[in-house]
Amino acid sequence: MENKQLQKNLGAAAALSTVVGMVIGGGVFFKPQAVYEITGGAPGLGMIAWVLAGIMTITAGLTAAEVSAAIPKTGGMMVYIEEIYGKKLGFLTGWMQSVLFFPATIAAISVMFGQQAAILLGNESLVIPMTVGVILLIGVLNTFGSKTSGAIQTVSTICKLIPLILIIVFGFIKGGGDNPVVQPLVAEGISPTGVIGQLLVAILFAYDGWINVGAIAGEMKDPGKDLPKAIVGGLSLVMAVYVVINLAYLWVLPANELAQYASPASVVATELFGPIGGKIITIGILISVFGCINGYLLTGPRIIYTLGQQKSIPVSFGKLNKNGVPANATLLMSVLAALYALSGQFNLLSDLSMFAVWSFYVLTFIGVMKLRKTHPNLHRPYKVPLYPIVPLIAIFSGLFVVLNQLFFAGAKSTMMSVGGVIVTLIGLPVYSYMTKKYADSKDGIDKAA
């Protein structure tokens, strides 16, 4: 839907709540384990990293929103990059999102769902069946139409807030508060500068979703004035919630214990409310995670659908079923996610998705500056404040994350990142083949005519 068809009825408050709803997901319930594992069970640097990642996200949101407001077309980052850099790089963005970012993200969240569901049922052999099962179930549900998906999102949003509020409130009331929070920064033998990049990659997963914020510019009464308020206010609120709930975790259990559990939130809930209360909170978290998976399986296949429409991949993926849903694209993404999920590695999958997508986020940030030079008269209903300082912070932050994962985060991260680069670059021969195939078939039709 183009901007001219949208009703401009969103004020700053409505936009702010939209930002919060887009970003808060399942990562805040599970990522503290990875954070404190990286710091060797020390709390300080982990808490600082939640704030740093929040600041990075705010600069990223403020920067990318200028592009999305200036290019009000459906398709998100893939369309922005195509408009700025050309069709080939635009395709590569969509390819990365289709085969890496969305499937790896869905798989990561589903692994946590499977692990928590298996623990709840008292049968650890159910982890993989539950993980794969939830992906395929939600994939099939998303072929029934947008009403089904919308209902799942509404219920899960409510269930997302309940565990957060209860843990924060009762964590401070019932927790002892005698565990260290700011010291030590890291455990002995660990370099703070050596692990900060890994911490940021881990935590940025919990902040993801901000790229969609600029899409609401077309529905705002005064985007130039209200969008920066919504982005800064909304993402600051998210950052505050994340910092406060992590403080609540530490109020109940020390960082070295939180590092041992895949779902620190469930363990803290059990500590606060007993076994039955802990299970009820875990069910709330599971419903929230179910909604997260649904959200990604609702939006992700639209990228595959667009590529199919463009004939950049087989056209069968660019078709809608009788319910007006890109069912083929949805089922393809579900299968890819299920294959990734067989690894059972939440942190590895989430780090892979962040590495892949932040590489292209950086191109988007650079694109803001490029467009200012190449299209100075382009209508911009919103301009990034403090230009060029904010875009430069976003660019250097993104480059730090990407280069750290590629070269400095250890052999495992380097291998994963190189694998991500290879999978992304496979898109180039696919694009060349499909472009040639489409050109040949068009020539054939023209000659026949």
Say what the pTM is: 0.90
What tokens were used for 40? 């060797």
- Average pLDDT over the chain reads 88
Q: Does pLDDT of 249 surpass 90? A: yes
The structural domains of the chain, ordered by start, are 3-439 (1.20.1740.10)
Mean pLDDT for 96-106 is 95
**Residue range 115-144, pLDDT digits in tens:** 999 999 989 899 999 999 999 999 999 888
Q: Does pLDDT of 24 surpass 90? A: no
Q: Does pLDDT of 441 surpass 70? A: no
Could you tell me how many residues make up the chain? Answer: 449
Mean pLDDT for 437-444 is 66
